[in-house]
Structure 1
Amino acid sequence: MGIIQQFERPMVRGGVLIPGLPVLPPGVERHPVPGGGSRAVAIEAGDVITVVDRAGLQLCELVFFDPEGRSDPARLGAGSSDEPTGTRNILGSDEVSARRVRNALEKAGFDLAAARCIRLFGEGSPAGNSISFTAEGPGLLIVAAPGEAMAVDRQNAPTELVLYVRRARPAIGKERRPPPDPLADPLIDKNILPGQAFVYEVKKGQYIQVLDVQGRECSDFQALDMRAVEQGRIAAIDPTTTRSLSGELYPKPGMFARYYSVDMQPLVELVQDTCGRHDTFGLACTARYYEDLGYPGHVNCTDNINRELSHYGLPTQGGWPAINFFFNTMLDDANAINMDDPWSRPGDYVLMRALTDVLCVSTACPCDIDPANGWDPTDIQVRVYDHHEEFPRSIGFRMTVDADLQPTKKTAFHECFAQHTRDFVEYNGYWLPNKFTAHGTIAEYWACREKAVIMDLSPLRKYEITGPDAEALMQLSVTRNMKKLSVGQVVYTAMCYEHGGMVDDGTVFRLDQNNFRWVGGCGTSGLWLREQAEKHGMNAWIRPSTDQLHNVAVQGPRSRDILREIIWTRPERPTVDELGVFRFTIGRIGDFHGPAVIVSRTGYTGELGYEVFCHPKDAKAVFEAIWEAGQPYGLTPFGLAALDMVRIEAGLVFAGYEFTDQTNPFEAGIGFTVPLKSKEDDFIGRTVLQERNAHPTRKLVGLDLVGNEVPSKGDCVRIGRAQVGQITSAVRSPILGKVIALCRMDAAHAEEGTQVEVGQLDGFQKRIPAVVVRSPHFDPTKERVKGNYA
């Protein structure tokens, strides 16, 4: 069992696993340390400190100050010490965690210039390696994960460390977690116990944070227009008005995530949300609800709200409409509301901004007779922050269900694209442009087909695979034959589970004999690779490098003309003109002194195109060089909306649409990535895929539809009364002048020319005639990708 599994185990309640609530042993704390970052933790005598190198090869520096400010590694039982050069470099930077550690040092009055450190791990350290120390006395521990900016052709990305502290004297009688630290200095900081409500006034521009302290707890929220309150009337958030104006069933951050009164006055807007799952705007719990279930007199949120608002002379309500934060309700096929345990974890919160002066009320729901609060009502924390604070818009992102929360990030190219649009959407934990103000989706589409476009693809997940067994690991884990992949070559491949379902699709770059780079859409693909290396005892490291490699795609007929003007390569490297399909080169922008880049002849548009990878610190210079060189060729910024159009035309698959973990590569339309005959070595899923290939049940096909209505993902495809397929993606194609779709079809009806109907409404009342056609619809011979067109 790995060291992390020894500390962290999922909660088990009545034999049911609840991975969202990891349980640490009593008295154990967990502190993640980001790669290239640091962490400061107060330590007491006898505390056991364990540091884990999650991905391997990551240097660690431990600095320990006693209460008098002396830095002595011997207080941790270490016999040798070094200069903490890596720690000093981190604390001298603008890295987010560095600011917190600097504040801790300044508050304690400790001087890092006179400090000494213990160095751990580094070269040869295996993934999951751990070392433990016992503190001889109290003090302040600083843990740093040093690392330099990774060059595009290097694979030394700094990675995460995890610090565990087993307290010698754990707090007694504190079964409940304390609230996490505030986001800033709060104007109001109130803990609401279950079965209570709290009323508070918030001025225009101030921020409201509603925080689920223990996890799995519902909190009803209302905001009333203060001007109406002063007049003795109620003008509160109205669910019908809000749903109608926002077009959203569930609240989420974004430019239009606002909450309105019945007179359409915006009252508050959501800024941050770490949970992502809230109520459909039902009522706060009422006395009638409990009476109907046989619990008359049960304390309820509506009565609590009425009691608190009575101080303002407002009339009572039999049932208060509310935003029911963290309340997990859903609509079933019959449009009936059901509920289950909340999705919220300890410390999850929503952050709102008041758009006018409002009177707010928040509750900690007392319901203990259904799953609304996970059967265990707990406390809610409410905080109000001043208007001068700055909080970026963010949706909480977790790569896996038990991963640490990450706020939505801006890519290194964000500000460059933000000069052309305000329309950003969340994708894979990052903000990406959806469409551009001065162009629009159709104009962007035609620019890609006729000229050239540039788009941000930085959220693609990158992993560095190195070590003596790197090739063997990749040969086992992906469907393509890695033994035939040359240095400087890229290959598109699938990655499958044992049952043949897909983990992800992506590209593999071969940088050297034992050096590979995986670029995929899903972060769990890297975790899967690490699991296989551990399971099969392979001497290979898999380290995430997404934060060290951001990339833009330059796509379209004039993309080569643009890049040949600005990409300099050494004599032994291919130039842009010499770069073949699925090949890459290492170069610089402008000349030998310019920023380093990797340019690959890859893309996701069905056009001649390239991807340009660089370190985030060079992103602005890279973008500006491409933009300037591209203006004579009509280079246009390109958003996700237009990308979806061109990739459907080109028959390119997308996770969650054309494939899932229940779809094998043949069913996803990428059977060409599974060379069952030419790849003799075994790989994960091979036996099942051989059977699926010999006896297919489903196949991805193209459809041409009659009329101009575009079907939605999931719409049924029928022959008569029988469903024989399902739409995965569809678009009205500008260049083809018709509606087209990708469809997962029963193999018995997948032949070209088969007449089918796309069912809408209930699948029977509305039918769109369609015919099975060759896929991809556009440029099926890939002549445009090869650049063989005028």
Structure 2
Amino acid sequence: MQQLIPPRIRGLKTSDIYVKEAQCGEAQRLDLLAGSILSITNVEGGSAAYITALSAGDVNFSPDVFHADGVPLPRHSLGSFDEREMIALTSARGGQISDASFAPLFDATSEVGALHVTSLPCNCTVFVIAPVARDYLSQGGGGRFSIHIQPPAGHRLDQDLPPPLGHVRDEWRVKRATALSYELTKGQFVQIIDVEGQQCSDFMAMRSSALDAGVERYIDSTVSRTMARAAYPLPGLHDKFYDQDMRALLSVRQDTVGRHDTFALACTARGYEDRGFPGHINCSDNISEAFEPYGIKRRAAWPAINFFFNSWMDPDHGHLASDEAWSRPGDYVALEAKTDLVCVSTACPDDVDPINGWNPTDIHIRIYEEDSSITHSVAWRANPEDSAKMTRHSAFHPRTSQLTSSFTVARDLWTPTHFDTTGAIEEYWACKNAATLQDMSGLRKFDIIGPDAARLLQHCLTRNVDKLAQHRGFYALMCDERGSVLDDGTLFCIEPTTYRWCCGSDNSALHLREMAQELGLNVHIRALGHRMVNLAIQGPKSRDILRKLTYSNPARPALDNIKWFGFTIARLGDVDGPSFMLCRTGFTGELGYEIFCDRNDATAIWDAVIDAGQPEGLVPMGGEALEMLRLEAGLMISGAEFGPDIDALESGLGFAVDFAKEAFVGRAALMRNAAGVRRKLVGIKLTGAEAPAHGDPVYLGREQVGMVTSASYSPQLGHAIAMARVAIEQSEENQELEIGRLDGHMKRHLGTVCALPFLDPTRKKARA
């Protein structure tokens, strides 16, 4: 029998455990009751963490109470950590700690899984702080800590609500199987909270001005989908919801689930009757009763947004399907009223389907005043068992937000898509002819530290780590036993026992930890989280710009001596300037560099690069231009060119596999597959400017022989280009193929197979 994962491991609230996380360079605030048991685990080992607290009245609280087995923790043993920064980290989480008293929980000698358990003697606010050492950029650092809270007897944390998002004007509990109507004025926010998890809530809003005129104007799902240019029904939420007059009623500000129904009816009496449940309570009747005091006509069936309802359209047959909700206790959606509204929220009574876990529970409603500062964000989990993280702005946002309002989500960060004064095409040409500056902070960074660091990486990566010297890096793959690519990235040798892996997925760290444990190796894998941010300076004038602002110690490589995939530790301006890691890398195919720095120095470094680069024609660049550049350069990305069902060779990444190595994870499968590769990644030059989409079929006559992985218009070539995975028999250069649109046959794009990359096949620009 399959063993079920306990809720505490899944990161869910339950009646006796609550899971939080403290990451590198951050503090976690915990408002706890007397008698709570606090368990803090060092997830990555070799990382330091501290604890402090405030008692009632924001009075500094003695850390002596944070004892383990009755032995009080020492105080002010800060080592290489700065007390002023620890105060700043706690202040950022709402603490008022002036004369701080920090107690160390763990230090650099702590093992993976090291545990500290303490019981709180009184009500207090606790801060668990995960600082970084001052020299982490050059010597490695990072850390992550899991926090489990067991409340005192008789207190159920699953009844606790998330902290308010602003000033609460009013709030109510919608009891299971009921509905509640309420009013919103323009600019106010409503937060709809799933109290215990896996509970659906139908929502409807009427425009007040229309009701006053005797007309019903309410959320129309068809209009909303059309206005959002997403007319095909899909799960999730649109940015805005509109009525029949195409007037915006609400905009979505925050969503911690991402899985909702926006295209079906609220449950109805007839729906239950037809299934053999006559007289069953239903949301449509509940909505009608809640709306009745406003003179709104009753309906047998109400359209609604069904928050937390996990439904979807079967792609093959168009049937509506559903399953248990994804929402966890305390998950919510927050919306802003764009006009005065009369709203209704339900706690769905369905106990005959899986949608509420067969156990309907409560919904909680909060109304916030107009001046509440509720930012746009959605929840993101690197892994299902992780606690949710709300998307945040990067450390460069104070500068990028002055130049654009066009952002998209990159993992758990908002990043610019393009800038207002330039646009993607102008940014593309600036990278070709001058230089560009791009926020790439969504990249994941992990430090692998310890005497067995090289041995672990040699086992897990497809390149020969033993050949990697200090101040050098290389591009490598991390594969599973089938040869499929788990992740790709760049590995840098910081010191003989310290490496930095810059990659796209948090699964890299999970895989490395699992392999280290399996092999019994003495190594720590530490996440640098949002503490380390990075910029890409790309283009033919990038080196000239960096000469104006880079100072390097004589013990480190000089800027002009850094070759492709080399790096140095430099400073901004002079010996006293902020420190940063400068790498000769990039994702554009052009000459370029990347800067990795501490988030506290982000704006100073951004300003310095902009000032030095303006005379050279440097402009900020967003993700749209990068997509065109990386495609021309034949650079592969996860979810397009490679993924779990394709091995490294068929992904076009064979150049990053060193078969001369005696052993690495996936080598046997790749050796076996190399003798019989059936598909190959190729370039296709199209005759027109219209770019196909990912997943479009590639045809030779009537027969499908491949699939498009990425496509874009190429400004330099003057036509569309695509990367596609095709049958080996059709992979020869100059082979004419067609890319099918519509049903694959009614519309065809003619193209010719070519080698990758499309431009600069020897990568002379990047190596210059």
Shift of 1:73: 3.5
Shift of 1:124: 1.4
- The secondary structure found in structure 2 opposite 1:546 is coil
Which stretch shows the higher mean deviation, 205-214 or 745-754? 745-754
- The secondary structure found in structure 2 opposite 1:729 is strand
Which stretch shows the higher mean deviation, 760-769 or 235-244? 760-769
CA separation in 2, counterparts of 1:66 and 1:615?
A: 32
- Partner residue in 2 for 1:476: 459
Which stretch shows the higher mean deviation, 390-399 or 693-702? 693-702
- Equivalent residue runs for 1:304-315 within 5 Å: 304-315=286-297
User: Contact (CA 8 Å) 2:194, 2:331: kept in 1 or not?
Assistant: yes
Query: Which consecutive unaligned segments of at least 5 residues does structure 2 have?
Result: none
- Aligned CA distance change for structure 1 residues 28 and 91 (closer, same or farther; 3 Å): farther
- Partner residue in 2 for 1:743: 724
Residues 29-70 of structure 1: per-residue CA shift (max 9 Å, x gap): 43433444143453545x654321111123334457899976
- Partner residue in 2 for 1:758: 739
User: Contact (CA 8 Å) 1:216, 1:374: kept in 2 or not?
Assistant: yes
User: Contact (CA 8 Å) 1:477, 1:496: kept in 2 or not?
Assistant: yes
- The secondary structure found in structure 2 opposite 1:205 is coil
- Partner residue in 2 for 1:554: 537
CA separation in 2, counterparts of 1:118 and 1:605?
A: 46
Residues 726-758 of structure 1: per-residue CA shift (max 9 Å, x gap): 100011211112221100112232222222221
CA separation in 1, counterparts of 2:568 and 2:33?
A: 49
> Percent of aligned pairs with the same residue?
38
- Partner residue in 2 for 1:268: 250
Of 600, 612, 618, which aligns to 1:629? 612
**2:475 is aligned with 1:492:** yes
- Aligned CA distance change for structure 1 residues 551 and 657 (closer, same or farther; 3 Å): same
Shift of 1:780: 0.9
Residues 623-668 of structure 1: per-residue CA shift (max 9 Å, x gap): 1111111111110111101100010111000111111122222111
- Aligned CA distance change for structure 1 residues 703 and 144 (closer, same or farther; 3 Å): same
RMSD after superposition: 2.6
- Partner residue in 2 for 1:9: 5
**2:71 is aligned with 1:79:** yes
CA separation in 2, counterparts of 1:429 and 1:63?
A: 28
- The secondary structure found in structure 1 opposite 2:585 is coil
Structure 2 residue identity aligned to 1:499:
R
Shift of 1:142: 3.1
- The secondary structure found in structure 2 opposite 1:785 is helix
- The secondary structure found in structure 1 opposite 2:764 is coil
**2:563 is aligned with 1:573:** no
- Partner residue in 1 for 2:29: 39
Residues 528-551 of structure 1: per-residue CA shift (max 9 Å, x gap): 111211121110001011322111
CA separation in 1, counterparts of 2:602 and 2:187?
A: 33
- Aligned CA distance change for structure 1 residues 583 and 121 (closer, same or farther; 3 Å): same
Shift of 1:201: 0.7
- Partner residue in 2 for 1:162: 146
Query: Which consecutive unaligned segments of at least 5 residues does structure 1 have?
Result: 1-5, 12-17, 106-110
- Partner residue in 1 for 2:128: 144
Which stretch shows the higher mean deviation, 220-229 or 598-607? 220-229
- Equivalent residue runs for 1:136-215 within 5 Å: 137-138=121-122, 140=124, 142-148=126-132, 150-151=134-135, 153-155=137-139, 157-166=141-150, 169-171=153-155, 177-215=159-197
User: Contact (CA 8 Å) 1:330, 1:339: kept in 2 or not?
Assistant: yes
User: Contact (CA 8 Å) 1:508, 1:516: kept in 2 or not?
Assistant: yes
User: Contact (CA 8 Å) 1:711, 1:730: kept in 2 or not?
Assistant: yes
CA separation in 2, counterparts of 1:605 and 1:372?
A: 45
Structure 1 residue identity aligned to 2:89:
E
CA separation in 1, counterparts of 2:545 and 2:6?
A: 52
- Aligned CA distance change for structure 1 residues 309 and 635 (closer, same or farther; 3 Å): same
- Aligned CA distance change for structure 1 residues 700 and 97 (closer, same or farther; 3 Å): farther
Structure 2 residue identity aligned to 1:234:
E
- Partner residue in 1 for 2:709: 728
Which stretch shows the higher mean deviation, 149-158 or 685-694? 149-158
- Equivalent residue runs for 1:439-518 within 5 Å: 439-518=422-501
TM-score (norm 2): 0.93
Of 84, 92, 95, which aligns to 2:89? 95
- Partner residue in 2 for 1:14: none
CA separation in 1, counterparts of 2:84 and 2:42?
A: 18
**2:39 is aligned with 1:50:** yes
CA separation in 2, counterparts of 1:635 and 1:184?
A: 40
CA separation in 1, counterparts of 2:579 and 2:82?
A: 26
Which stretch shows the higher mean deviation, 553-562 or 365-374? 365-374
- Partner residue in 2 for 1:108: none
Shift of 1:21: 6.7
Structure 2 residue identity aligned to 1:164:
H
Shift of 1:348: 1.2
CA separation in 2, counterparts of 1:290 and 1:97?
A: 53
- Partner residue in 2 for 1:15: none
CA separation in 2, counterparts of 1:712 and 1:199?
A: 44
Structure 1 residue identity aligned to 2:694:
K
- The secondary structure found in structure 2 opposite 1:229 is helix
- Aligned CA distance change for structure 1 residues 89 and 357 (closer, same or farther; 3 Å): farther
Query: How many residues are matched?
Result: 757
- The secondary structure found in structure 2 opposite 1:154 is helix
CA separation in 1, counterparts of 2:689 and 2:48?
A: 59
Shift of 1:721: 2.9
- The secondary structure found in structure 2 opposite 1:662 is coil
- Aligned CA distance change for structure 1 residues 608 and 211 (closer, same or farther; 3 Å): same
- Partner residue in 2 for 1:718: 699
CA separation in 1, counterparts of 2:424 and 2:236?
A: 24
- The secondary structure found in structure 1 opposite 2:137 is coil
TM-score (norm 1): 0.91
Of 28, 37, 53, which aligns to 2:17? 28
Shift of 1:241: 1.3
CA separation in 2, counterparts of 1:696 and 1:96?
A: 55
CA separation in 1, counterparts of 2:341 and 2:180?
A: 14
CA separation in 1, counterparts of 2:480 and 2:326?
A: 27
CA separation in 2, counterparts of 1:642 and 1:323?
A: 35
- Aligned CA distance change for structure 1 residues 270 and 609 (closer, same or farther; 3 Å): same
- Aligned CA distance change for structure 1 residues 612 and 442 (closer, same or farther; 3 Å): same
User: Contact (CA 8 Å) 2:185, 2:337: kept in 1 or not?
Assistant: yes
Of 101, 112, 117, which aligns to 1:127? 112
Shift of 1:247: 1.5
User: Contact (CA 8 Å) 1:80, 1:118: kept in 2 or not?
Assistant: no
Which stretch shows the higher mean deviation, 463-472 or 443-452? 443-452
- Partner residue in 1 for 2:212: 230
Residues 296-316 of structure 1: per-residue CA shift (max 9 Å, x gap): 222111111111111111212
- Aligned CA distance change for structure 1 residues 539 and 718 (closer, same or farther; 3 Å): same
Structure 1 residue identity aligned to 2:114:
N
- Partner residue in 2 for 1:277: 259
User: Contact (CA 8 Å) 2:489, 2:503: kept in 1 or not?
Assistant: yes
- Aligned CA distance change for structure 1 residues 647 and 554 (closer, same or farther; 3 Å): same
CA separation in 2, counterparts of 1:238 and 1:97?
A: 44
CA separation in 2, counterparts of 1:708 and 1:417?
A: 30
Residues 673-704 of structure 1: per-residue CA shift (max 9 Å, x gap): 10102x23x11111111111122122111112
Shift of 1:84: 4.0
CA separation in 2, counterparts of 1:39 and 1:58?
A: 19
- The secondary structure found in structure 2 opposite 1:153 is helix
Structure 2 residue identity aligned to 1:664:
D
User: Contact (CA 8 Å) 1:269, 1:353: kept in 2 or not?
Assistant: yes
User: Contact (CA 8 Å) 2:86, 2:129: kept in 1 or not?
Assistant: no
- Partner residue in 2 for 1:302: 284
Structure 1 residue identity aligned to 2:48:
L
Residues 472-521 of structure 1: per-residue CA shift (max 9 Å, x gap): 01101111100001101010011111221111110001011111000001
CA separation in 2, counterparts of 1:558 and 1:675?
A: 33
User: Contact (CA 8 Å) 1:564, 1:575: kept in 2 or not?
Assistant: no
Residues 414-443 of structure 1: per-residue CA shift (max 9 Å, x gap): 121222111011111101010111111111
Of 345, 357, 361, which aligns to 2:328? 345
- Aligned CA distance change for structure 1 residues 264 and 96 (closer, same or farther; 3 Å): farther
User: Contact (CA 8 Å) 2:450, 2:523: kept in 1 or not?
Assistant: yes
Structure 1 residue identity aligned to 2:685:
D
